[in-house]
Structure 1
Amino acid sequence: MTLHSIDKAKVEAHARLIEQMRRILGETICAVFDDPSAVEIMLNDDGRILVERHGHGITELTRMSPAKALNFLALMASWRETVVDRNRPIVEGAMPDEFRRARFAGCIPPLTPMPTFSIRLPTTRIFTLEDYVHAGILAPDQRDYLTEALDTRKNILVSGGTGSGKTSLLNALSHRVAQVSGLDQRVVIIEDTREIVCKAPNTVQMLTDPDANIDMTRLLKLTLRYRPDRIFVGEVRDGAALALLKAWNTGHPGGLATLHANDPEAALIRLDQLCQEAGVPSQSALIREAVDVVVQIRRDPGHPAGRVVSDIVCFDQ
């Protein structure tokens, strides 16, 4: 078999995979991938497909049978060059380009009663701080404070629970940075999955690569050789927190990052715990020096937009 025929076979196999995926999802679900307001597609174990849209909360879209869901997870496993079965019941990773490389996570019984999944869609439209005010998620005085903090290059940590909208809010903050940045301000972005959007004219985006043993700590060290002025991190999860704080605190102000926490004080405690995963003692002093502002965003079922910025705390005074 020639190299050309091998390549052609791969292309044809990929096309069949995509067609099978689209057939299982159906037109209704596939259309969500083209919706700029869509944030997440979720399949619960009762078969309901839910969609979260920015500014509109969560609504039920349609239903999917367990058999179809299981087939879809098997196709995702095939795409990720693995399998899904009782011994390996979890499938996660980026979807194919035809599905915008959305972030996929799914599992099958016995972890859940029926197959389930969650698809986090990458941002296609940037919601500005002004959009957040119009949606009632952000108060006008909060917008003014954050605008000043960004313009004066404060280090800002966006804190919240799972699915609270941390990355979307970080993108709104990033939009403001792009508005006030010229070629003299280099923005370096580090993520596990590409979700941050920054239109600043001097921007470099880096992705971790588990297969090559390139983690966030390694990239943060590499970043310092790239002459960064601002450093953005998609989500701080482990001992990389220490490298980030050191970078923020050594001549690179104006950074942005997200973190899982229930309130601003808990965010600083969580950050300290992550630093200690790097094998160092408490870094509370470094944290107080490096983190200027914590913005807390939380889900709010009673709010029309489904979330609200509940607190903004300044720690640089």
Structure 2
Amino acid sequence: MSESLPGAALLPPAGPVPGAALHAIDKAKAEAHARLIEQMRRILGEDICKAFEDPKVVEILLNDNGEVLVERHGEGITPLTTMPAAKALNLLGLMASYRETVVDRAHPIVEGAMPPEFLLARFAGCIPPLTPAPTFAIRLPARSIFTVEDYVSRGILTDAQYEKITTAIRDRKNIVVSGGTGSGKTTLLNACSDYVARISGLDQRIVIIEDTREIQCNAPNVVQMLTDPDSGIDMTRLLKLTLRYRPDRIFVGEVRDRSALALLKAWGTGHPGGLATLHANDAEGALTRLDQLCQEAGVPSQRHLIEEAVDVVVQIARDPNHPAGRRITEIRFFD
């Protein structure tokens, strides 16, 4: 008679996990998530939590002096509340836990999308020694669409500029919205995206690629993709995947790395009518910036490809003297 090892009878049987056990695992995960959300809400406090519910809020910022600022559409940046360093550190720790990473001296940066309960807002934060005290910036997704007609009514776009942009959209030109930090690039791209949605039917398939969800598009045939750094899925990989999805138009939230090369190739090979944003100070600088980003992929200058793929650059800038706080400074066609 064969002998069994001590304790062998205690081992679970081989095979699939029983349904009851799976339910218990799911329940435990849901409870842990609920506790994390409650802790986050408690740390953020009433004022910041209310800011997440305000459709005008676009950014929540914590400075190293503990002051929390909020930026609202058309209202600029104003003080909101304060947050002690200890609470801020706890918040970064919870975000690191949610992102399945850690935050400590060896890993002082936490970034990524927040939980759905916080609108999948884009979170970026760091701790000492990078800053004297914990800091963060939270970018909220658009909750309301500022249409191109709204830009005209508020004097940001002239009637002539409106005609140029809407004609370019109808003619399926590839448009880059360029500007500095906080100039309103994504808001303007969303206005263009809204116009695309209004003129598109099921025959127009739109694929949107972003790091965090910011682009709104209510067209009837849309696929939205997000990068996943944890899985090594970057924008370049998604752009290559996008070509298998039969896109008619390709929108990119922000071009900031070597993925510029893949985007330009996609735009220039039978997928016109795209939209993208880019950090640059003027239209010519936008083309130079695109070229620099392409070269990050280890290729020589792609100026010829850029001239083939990019049809229009719309430059937007902050303007404290304008009632809306920003204005369109240039619309450059490269046909």
CA distance in 1, matches of 2:135, 2:106: 16
Gaps of 5+ in 1: none
Partner of 2:304: 285
Partner of 2:129: 110
For 1:5-84, what aligned pairs fall within 5 Å after superposition?
A: 5-84=24-103
Contact preservation (8 Å) 2:120, 2:212:
no
Q: Look up the SS of the partner of 1:24 in the other structure.
A: helix
CA distance in 2, matches of 1:48, 1:133: 35
Change (3 A) 1:235 1:17: same
Structure possessing the higher radius of gyration over alpha carbons: 2
User: Which residue, out of 139, 145, 148, partners 1:120?
Assistant: 139
Partner of 2:237: 218
User: Which residue, out of 23, 48, 62, partners 1:4?
Assistant: 23
Partner of 1:275: 294
More deviation, 83-92/6-15? 6-15
Contact preservation (8 Å) 2:37, 2:117:
yes
1:113 positional shift: 1.4
Q: Please, what TM-score do these two structures have when normalized by structure 1?
A: 0.95
Partner of 1:173: 192
Partner of 1:228: 247
Contact preservation (8 Å) 2:173, 2:273:
yes
CA distance in 2, matches of 1:72, 1:206: 27
- 1:209 aligned partner, one-letter code: D
Contact preservation (8 Å) 1:56, 1:304:
no
1:45-84 per-residue CA deviation (whole Å, 9 max, x = no partner) reads: 1211111111211111111111221121111112112222
Partner of 2:314: 295
CA distance in 2, matches of 1:222, 1:6: 33
Partner of 2:176: 157
Q: Please, what TM-score do these two structures have when normalized by structure 2?
A: 0.90
More deviation, 211-220/62-71? 211-220
More deviation, 93-102/157-166? 157-166
- 1:212 aligned partner, one-letter code: S
1:209 positional shift: 2.1
Q: Look up the SS of the partner of 2:53 in the other structure.
A: coil
1:133 positional shift: 2.3
CA distance in 1, matches of 2:87, 2:228: 31
Contact preservation (8 Å) 1:295, 1:313:
yes
More deviation, 250-259/130-139? 130-139
Change (3 A) 1:305 1:68: farther
- 2:47 aligned partner, one-letter code: T
CA distance in 1, matches of 2:195, 2:210: 20
Percent identity reads 76
Contact preservation (8 Å) 1:39, 1:123:
yes
1:261 positional shift: 0.9
- 1:36 aligned partner, one-letter code: P
1:170 positional shift: 0.5
Partner of 1:206: 225
1:290 positional shift: 1.1
1:38 positional shift: 1.0
CA distance in 2, matches of 1:296, 1:61: 30
Contact preservation (8 Å) 1:57, 1:304:
no
Q: Does residue 263 of structure 2 align to residue 244 of structure 1? A: yes
1:254 positional shift: 0.8
